Structure 1
Amino acid sequence: MSNPLSVQYIQTPRLHIAYEHHGPAEGEPVILLHGFPYDPRSYDEIAPDLAARGYRVIVPYLRGYGPTRFAGPGILRSGQQAALAQDLLDLMDALKIPRAALAGFDWGGRAACIVAALWPERVRCLVSADGYNIQDIAGASEPRAPDTEHRLWYQYYFNTQRGVDGLTANRRELCALLWQLWSPSWARGDALYGLTAPSFDNPDFVEVVIHSYRHRFRYAPGDPSLEHIEQALVRPPPIRVPSISLCGADDGVGPASVEDEDLGRFSGPYQRRVLAGVGHNVPQEAPEATVQALLELLRG
Structure 2
Amino acid sequence: MQTVTANGLQFRFLSAGASDGPLALCLHGFPDSAHTWRHLLPELARAGFRAVAPFMRGYAPTQVPGDGAYQTGALAADANALHEALDGGPDAVLIGHDWGAATAYGASALAPGRWRRVVALAVPPVNSMAAAFFDYEQLKRSFYIFLFQTPLAEMALNRSFVEGLWRDWSPGYEAAEDVAHAMDCLRSPEHATAAIGYYRAMLDGSRHVEAYATEQAAMTRVGERPVLYLHGADDGCLGAAAVQDAERYLPAGSRVEVVPGAGHFLQLERPVEVNSRILGWVTG
Common topology (TM > 0.5): yes
- In structure 1, how many angstroms separate the alpha carbons of the residues matched to 2:133 and 2:94? 32
SS at match of 1:204: helix
Structure 1 match to 2:246: 262
Structure 1 match to 2:78: 87
Structure 2 match to 1:158: 148
Checking the alignment, whether the CA contact within 8 Å between 2:124 and 2:243 is kept in structure 1 is: no
Counterpart code for 1:127? V
- In structure 2, how many angstroms separate the alpha carbons of the residues matched to 1:13 and 1:116? 16
Counterpart code for 1:247? H
- In structure 1, how many angstroms separate the alpha carbons of the residues matched to 2:244 and 2:223? 15
Residue 246 in 1 paired to residue 240 in 2?
no
Checking the alignment, whether the CA contact within 8 Å between 1:64 and 1:202 is kept in structure 2 is: no
- In structure 2, how many angstroms separate the alpha carbons of the residues matched to 1:246 and 1:61? 22
From the superposition, tell whether residues 180 and 289 of structure 1 become closer, same or farther in structure 2 (CA, over 3 Å): same
From the superposition, tell whether residues 205 and 298 of structure 1 become closer, same or farther in structure 2 (CA, over 3 Å): same
Checking the alignment, whether the CA contact within 8 Å between 1:64 and 1:203 is kept in structure 2 is: no
Residue 223 in 1 paired to residue 209 in 2?
yes
From the superposition, tell whether residues 225 and 180 of structure 1 become closer, same or farther in structure 2 (CA, over 3 Å): same
Structure 2 match to 1:23: 17
1:109 is displaced (CA, Å) by 0.9
From the superposition, tell whether residues 203 and 143 of structure 1 become closer, same or farther in structure 2 (CA, over 3 Å): closer
Q: 1:271 aligns with which of 230, 249, 255?
A: 255
Structure 1: unaligned runs, 5 residues or longer: 1-6
Residue 109 in 1 paired to residue 114 in 2?
no
From the superposition, tell whether residues 129 and 173 of structure 1 become closer, same or farther in structure 2 (CA, over 3 Å): same
- In structure 2, how many angstroms separate the alpha carbons of the residues matched to 1:221 and 1:83? 12
- In structure 1, how many angstroms separate the alpha carbons of the residues matched to 2:236 and 2:283? 32
Counterpart code for 1:177? G
Farther-moved stretch of structure 1 (123-132 vs 32-41): 123-132
Structure 1 match to 2:51: 57
Structure 1 match to 2:200: 214
Residue 175 in 1 paired to residue 159 in 2?
no
1:82 is displaced (CA, Å) by 1.0
Q: C-alpha deviations, 1:215-273, integer Å up to 9, x for none?
A: 2112642111001111223xx21133122111111111122128631111113212111
- In structure 1, how many angstroms separate the alpha carbons of the residues matched to 2:34 and 2:269? 13
From the superposition, tell whether residues 274 and 17 of structure 1 become closer, same or farther in structure 2 (CA, over 3 Å): same
- How many percent identity over aligned positions? 27
SS at match of 2:26: strand
- In structure 2, how many angstroms separate the alpha carbons of the residues matched to 1:247 and 1:107? 14
Residue 76 in 1 paired to residue 67 in 2?
yes
- In structure 2, how many angstroms separate the alpha carbons of the residues matched to 1:124 and 1:59? 18
From the superposition, tell whether residues 190 and 118 of structure 1 become closer, same or farther in structure 2 (CA, over 3 Å): same
- How well do the aligned residues superpose, as a CA RMSD in angstroms? 2.4
- In structure 2, how many angstroms separate the alpha carbons of the residues matched to 1:193 and 1:166? 15
Q: C-alpha deviations, 1:101-140, integer Å up to 9, x for none?
A: 1111111111111112222111111111135344789x79
1:20 is displaced (CA, Å) by 1.1
- In structure 1, how many angstroms separate the alpha carbons of the residues matched to 2:128 and 2:243? 20
From the superposition, tell whether residues 262 and 162 of structure 1 become closer, same or farther in structure 2 (CA, over 3 Å): same
Structure 2 match to 1:287: 271
- In structure 2, how many angstroms separate the alpha carbons of the residues matched to 1:191 and 1:208? 22
- In structure 2, how many angstroms separate the alpha carbons of the residues matched to 1:8 and 1:230? 29
Residue 299 in 1 paired to residue 283 in 2?
yes
From the superposition, tell whether residues 282 and 239 of structure 1 become closer, same or farther in structure 2 (CA, over 3 Å): farther
- In structure 2, how many angstroms separate the alpha carbons of the residues matched to 1:94 and 1:191? 30
SS at match of 1:41: helix
1:164 is displaced (CA, Å) by 3.0
Checking the alignment, whether the CA contact within 8 Å between 1:151 and 1:253 is kept in structure 2 is: yes
1:165 is displaced (CA, Å) by 2.8
